[in-house]
Amino acid sequence: MPTIDLTRINTVIFDTDGVVTDTARVHAAAWKHVFDTFMRGRSESDDRWAPFDIREDYLSFVDGRPRLDGVRTFLASRGITLPEGEPSDPPGAPTVHGLGMAKDQFFLGQVERDGVSAFPSTVLLLHDLRHRGCRTAVVSASRHCRQMVLAAGVVHLFDVLVDGNDMARRKLPGKPDPALFLEAAARLGAPPGKTAIIEDALPGVEAGRRGGFGLVIAVDRTGQGGALAERGADIVVTDLAELAISGRVPADAR
């Protein structure tokens, strides 16, 4: 059974969407709604305007990236260029900011309607880690990270939270750059080599590997285990219930 050895790993950093909260599918649906609306009515004979594919397009170009990076990366994959626009652009305007705002608006509407839940196996793992003296952090490129973990009732299980607001304030680049994880590790006072990263997205796994973290764990909820391993995951599981924990964090490392 894959194991986190707490005599070697002292801290664990969790991605939010798809690892802690069951919101990755809501993000994917929001992106499909926005991109399909934008592309509707364009030339049907041009593959650039084909409907957004949740499996291929979302996982390859959007998942795990900051919102505006997701817009840019997906459009670039289709050879589509839009002006950047401004943060004040109305949702749905044909600009990078306009599409990003539309996605944000649709996502928050779905969350307000349906609520947010945490994965039970993640909650159990967090309780076990903290009982054994392990410090934990939660990260997200979203500015709504705190809102999500508060709504899911798990914010108290993390010592540190780093989100899109921190990224904007400190001008941190998004994944696959490891800056977000390195910021969380620094706030925990933990060297990356003694820190584990738990991710579900390809850019996040790559960020964990680039950052020199001691253990990179991938949660494969979409059948892309091989790709996650190729990007640098040391362990790939389909659910965190498959992980075991051994030992306790030494007192002088807490």
Q: Which of 17, 63, 69, 200 is catalytic?
A: 17
Q: Is 17 a catalytic residue?
A: yes
State the Cα–Cα distance between residues 48 and 68, nearest whole angstrom: 19
Contact 149, 162 (CB under 8 A): no
Give the angle subtended at the CA of 165 by the CAs of 35 and 52, to the nearest 5°: 10
- 196 three-class SS: strand
Q: Is 177 a catalytic residue?
A: no
Q: Which of 5, 15, 47, 252 is catalytic?
A: 15
Please identify which residue in the block is written with the tokens 């109305």.
Answer: 90
Buried b (16+ CB within 10 A) or exposed e, 96-117: bbbbbbbbbebbeebbeeeebe
Among the listed residues 124, 111, 36, the one whose alpha carbon sits nearest the alpha carbon of residue 74: 36
Among the listed residues 140, 143, 68, 152, the one whose alpha carbon sits nearest the alpha carbon of residue 111: 152
Residues annotated catalytic, as ranges: 15, 17
